[in-house]
Structure 1
Amino acid sequence: MALTFYYGSGSPFAWKVWLALEHKGIAYDLKLLSFDKGDTKAPAFRAINPRGLVPTIVDDGFALWESGVILEYLEEKYPQKPLLPKETRARATVRRLATEINDYVKEASNALAELVLYGDKPATKEELADAHQKMLDALAPFEAAFVGPYLAGELSIADFTMFPFVRMLKRIEDRKPGQGLPDDRLPPKLRAWKGAIEKLPYYEKTTPPHWKG
């Protein structure tokens, strides 16, 4: 029986799980939920995940949510094409990177999106400059510690955790030219890293549907 994957278009947390499912070649049934239509709050979905959040998976009757935990579960249940190194310290490093991304990069990326896309009034030049700098500051430690070709060497959960927040910067720029952070403003190693992720064979398939228009 295929795993069921509940997804919301544009959710960075759902996107990283989708990338992992594709990378590992896990069979899944994609259930696209609409935020605008309130699908995640519907009783049928709340019966699966009482918090009403995506991503959620149901694997052979076992429901699980929280994206980081889902990635760990997939790694243990489906060990093919691993996304965590075998060596203890290397595994700890990948987990640390993923935690730092959620603590710092997510905050800066979300703050810029909130300012530009969802604010009640247009952002001032000063506000934009401050938000841009905070994002670049959040990325700087990853640039300095970059191993290559991916964040920690081999492709890992850290890469799938980071990518949606970095890709959001271009999404902001596409919608509000001059207010996001185009690729040429990213640190050079991370700019090349972003290009490498976008060359993965399943990147296009997992791109949020409403971003393709």
Structure 2
Amino acid sequence: MLEKEISFEPVLLSLNGDQLQSEFLAINPFHHVPAIVDQGFRVIESLAILDYLETKYPAPALLPTEAEALAVVRMVQMTVTNELFPKAISLMFETEDSPKLLQAKEHINQVLVFLTECLGNSPYFASKQLTLADIVAGTDMSLLSKLGFSFNNYPKLKDWFERLMQREVWQRTELSQEDFEKFKRVLRMLHRRKLNQENKVNNHE
């Protein structure tokens, strides 16, 4: 919304419980963020929100129209969402000697190699201008960076990420390390809560 200069009123939620309140559940019964409400119309799920905003507010355009370029944008969005993000999150929960940690890092490497191929020699994914692929990938690459993951073995992605982080909007919205540590604590708490619930169910069975 900032890149498109769409006016909006942000509503901040504490994931310690705000997402479970009836007011928010009326917007998203699955208690996930983000969600938007635009003149009474609610949209949940990040990719759906991006598509909605791109269609309703088409300028500046953040999607290419050429078939191959559009396919690259969609591939990057889906690969980051389905393959990169879950493994990045798992880095927060696994111990250094965990086999799952090694598997996660190997999978992340595979994703980053694929993203490097998708980027090619373009300054942004499939375009000389920012696209929705950059927004989705940049968010999760920022997560990896804060977790201490180095991009030195992926020089094109490293240059792209540094270029993205130099944009004014990204500098305005990037989490501080302090806020990121709070984010990690909340995720770990939610993860423990989920494990406890699963254990209770297993014990009951």
Q: TM-score w.r.t. structure 1 length?
A: 0.76
2:116 to 135, 138, 143: 143
- For residue 70 of structure 1, what is the aligned residue in structure 2? 49
C-alpha deviation, 1:170, in angstroms: 2.1
Structure 2 CA distance for aligned equivalents of residues 127 and 62 of structure 1: 41
Note the residue ranges of structure 1 that are not aligned, 5 or more in a row.
Answer: 1-20, 116-121, 174-180
2:160 to 185, 193, 201: 193
Matched, 1:50 2:29: yes
Structure 1 residues 42 and 189, CA, compared in 2 at 3 Å: closer, same or farther? same
- For residue 133 of structure 1, what is the aligned residue in structure 2? 106
Structure 2 CA distance for aligned equivalents of residues 146 and 83 of structure 1: 16
C-alpha deviation, 1:144, in angstroms: 2.4
Matched, 1:204 2:177: no
RMSD of the TM alignment (CA)? 2.1
Deviates more, 1:195-204 or 1:104-113: 104-113
Structure 1 residues 62 and 127, CA, compared in 2 at 3 Å: closer, same or farther? closer
8 Å contact kept, 1:108–1:138: no
C-alpha deviation, 1:197, in angstroms: 0.8
Q: Following superposition of structure 1 onto structure 2, how do residues 154-173 of structure 1 map, counting pairs within 5 Å?
A: 154-173=129-148
- Structure 2 letter corresponding to 1:203: W
Deviates more, 1:43-52 or 1:186-195: 43-52
- Higher RCO, 1 or 2 (CA under 8 Å, sep at least 6)? 1
**Secondary structure at 1:124's aligned position in 2?**
coil
Structure 1 residues 144 and 62, CA, compared in 2 at 3 Å: closer, same or farther? same
1:63-90 Cα deviation digits (max 9, x unpaired): 1111101100000100111110122332
Structure 1 CA distance for aligned equivalents of residues 3 and 147 of structure 2: 26
- Structure 1 letter corresponding to 2:168: P
Q: Following superposition of structure 1 onto structure 2, how do residues 91-110 of structure 1 map, counting pairs within 5 Å?
A: 91-110=70-89
1:145-171 Cα deviation digits (max 9, x unpaired): 323201222311111111121111222
Matched, 1:41 2:24: no
8 Å contact kept, 2:72–2:125: no
**Secondary structure at 1:58's aligned position in 2?**
strand
Matched, 1:182 2:177: no
**Secondary structure at 1:24's aligned position in 2?**
coil
8 Å contact kept, 2:151–2:157: no
- Greater share of strand: 1
C-alpha deviation, 1:128, in angstroms: 4.4
Moved over 6 A (4+): none
1:108-160 Cα deviation digits (max 9, x unpaired): 21222332xxxxxx321765444322211111111123232012223111111
- For residue 59 of structure 1, what is the aligned residue in structure 2? 38
**Secondary structure at 2:61's aligned position in 1?**
coil
Structure 2 CA distance for aligned equivalents of residues 48 and 57 of structure 1: 8
- For residue 119 of structure 1, what is the aligned residue in structure 2? none
Note the residue ranges of structure 2 that are not aligned, 5 or more in a row.
Answer: 183-205
- Structure 2 letter corresponding to 1:103: N
Identity rate, percent: 30
8 Å contact kept, 2:70–2:126: no
Structure 2 CA distance for aligned equivalents of residues 76 and 211 of structure 1: 32
